[in-house]
């Protein structure tokens, strides 16, 4: 029997991509399970979803630690205890340190709401909107020590129409995210990326 891949999802917000990943694993019967949610905000809506799904959750208050690396050490200890094989960042608004990256080399994946290398960073949708580009997009990439600089796994473009409000563009991007991320996860699972 093929070993089931054990994944942790990191989120900071309401958790729509967490839900999309969870649903895809169940509906497509992917050989994976989400065994831990990690959040950095006690108000993250993703916590409500974790409770609904029966997935254990960890809230890390970074300000309780002298350094980000010390906070990540606590996260890492939990992931080791959970026997986690890979990490999926789903709207996690923090840059990871080498503490976590080195523990999961080539097994941490991020979803970014722009066509990297264009518009890296935390305000990418707003940046693309204000730049007046005709199209932006969504990128799934591996995480390295830079800011949205890791190897690109997959991308999908998203049009930006002249009459768009910022909310129109955000909604269109999020709709693409909810399809692209699960599809990319399925590709990665089929390639055995998380079990290397």
Residue 196, pLDDT score:
74
- The domain limits of the chain are 5-195
Fold of 5-195: Rossmann fold (3.40.50)
Confidence at residue 195, expressed as pLDDT on a 0 to 100 scale: 87
Sign of CA dihedral 23, 59, 114, 86: negative
Q: Would the pLDDT of 181 be above 60?
A: yes
Lowest mean pLDDT among 17-21, 22-26, 51-55, 143-147: 143-147
Are 9 and 38 in contact, with CB atoms under 8 Å apart?
A: yes
For the chain, percent of residues with pLDDT exceeding 90 = 94
| Contacting residues for 130 by C-beta, under 8 A, at least 6 apart | none
pTM as predicted: 0.95
Q: What's the whole-number average pLDDT of the chain?
A: 95
Q: Which of 22, 85, 112, 141 is catalytic?
A: 112
Q: Taking 80 as the threshold, does the pLDDT of residue 31 lie above it? A: yes
Q: What is the pLDDT of residue 1?
A: 54
In the structure, what pLDDT confidence band is assigned to residue 2 with cuts at 50, 70 and 90? low
| pLDDT tens string 64-108 | 999 999 999 999 999 999 999 999 999 999 999 999 999 999 999
pLDDT digits (tens, 9 = 90+) for 117-155: 999 998 999 999 999 999 999 999 999 988 899 999 999
Distance of CA 88 to the CA centre of its chain: 4
Query: Could you confirm whether 112 is annotated as catalytic?
Result: yes
Cα–Cα distance for residue pair 103/76, rounded to 1 Å: 8
């Amino acid at each position: 029997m093929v070993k089931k891949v054990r994944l942790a999802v990191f989120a900071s917000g309401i958790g729509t991509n967490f839900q999309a990943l969870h649903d895809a694993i169940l509906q497509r019967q992917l050989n994976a399970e989400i065994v831990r949610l990690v959040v950095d905000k006690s108000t993250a809506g993703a916590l409500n979803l974790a409770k609904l799904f029966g997935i254990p959750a960890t809230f890390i208050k970074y300000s309780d630690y002298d350094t980000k690396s010390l906070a990540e050490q606590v996260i890492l200890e939990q992931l080791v205890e959970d026997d986690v094989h890979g990490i999926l960042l789903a709207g996690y608004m923090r840059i990871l340190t080498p503490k976590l990256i080195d523990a999961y080399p080539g097994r941490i994946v991020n979803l970014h709401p722009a066509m990297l290398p264009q518009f890296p960073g935390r305000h990418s949708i707003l940046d693309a909107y204000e730049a007046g580009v005709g199209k932006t997009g969504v990128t799934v990439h591996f995480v390295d020590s830079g800011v949205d600089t890791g190897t690109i796994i997959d991308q999908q473009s998203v049009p930006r129409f002249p009459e768009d409000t910022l909310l129109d563009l955000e909604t269109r991007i999020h709709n693409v995210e909810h399809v692209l991320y699960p599809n990319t996860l399925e590709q990665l699972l089929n390639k055995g990326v998380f079990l290397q």
